[in-house]
Amino acid sequence: MTELTLTPQQHAIATLKANLHLPNGGFHKLIVELSREYLLPFQTVRKVLKQSQKAIEKKIKHQLDDVSDDELTKDHWLNLIHASLTEKAKDNLPVMEKLQQSQLYQDAIQALSQPTHTPDECEAVREQLAMAYEIEVYKPLTEMLYTSILYWKLPDDLYQMTEDKQQEFGGYPQHMEAVRHLLKLAE
């Protein structure tokens, strides 16, 4: 049997891939975790992970002599990812701030500030609050939870966000703060 001999580039890429190996669905878990940390959609984070790996591989292929052992580590890869995600998330607004800037929310607040409310007006405000939830909380959260177990548990209806449901999403405190705020306004 012949012995397989790797070129220096092949050896470096094999080392990199071995160092980046994340067992038991770790790649998916990492994406979900980083999505939560940076409040970015799953697909955006996934793309950054892949681009960071490709950047290292490209350097190996084209500038092998300039590649240090440190650049083949998971820590280096994660540092590249964090730098890129920090840049992408720099203009993110806190969930409550984004909610309060939405026109649906502002219209609901305006309606609530009026002295009297008929049942129809109350229902219209509740609907505006529900739509604000759907657009400013639910949709961004589903983009972050894409393909995770929690994705399938997230109600698209504000009024189904019971305390128990909110506890399931405790890892997303900004979103749950917005939910509690909207529910309080709807009372």
What Cα–Cα distance (Å) separates residue 78 from each residue in 63, 95, 97, 165, 172?
Answer: 21, 26, 29, 32, 22
Confidence category of residue 171, pLDDT binned at 50, 70, 90: very high
User: What mean pLDDT is reported for the chain?
Assistant: 90
* Burial track 82-114 (b if 16+ CB lie within 10 A, e otherwise): eebbeebeeeeeebbebbbeeebbebbeeeeee
Please give the model's pTM, rounded to 2 decimal places. Answer: 0.83
Contacts of 37 (CB under 8 A, 6+ apart): 85
Amino acid letter, residue 91 = D
Contacts of 94 (CB under 8 A, 6+ apart): 174
CA dist., res. 57 & res. 115, Å (int): 64
Average pLDDT in the 81-107 region? 95
Would the pLDDT of 134 be above 70? yes
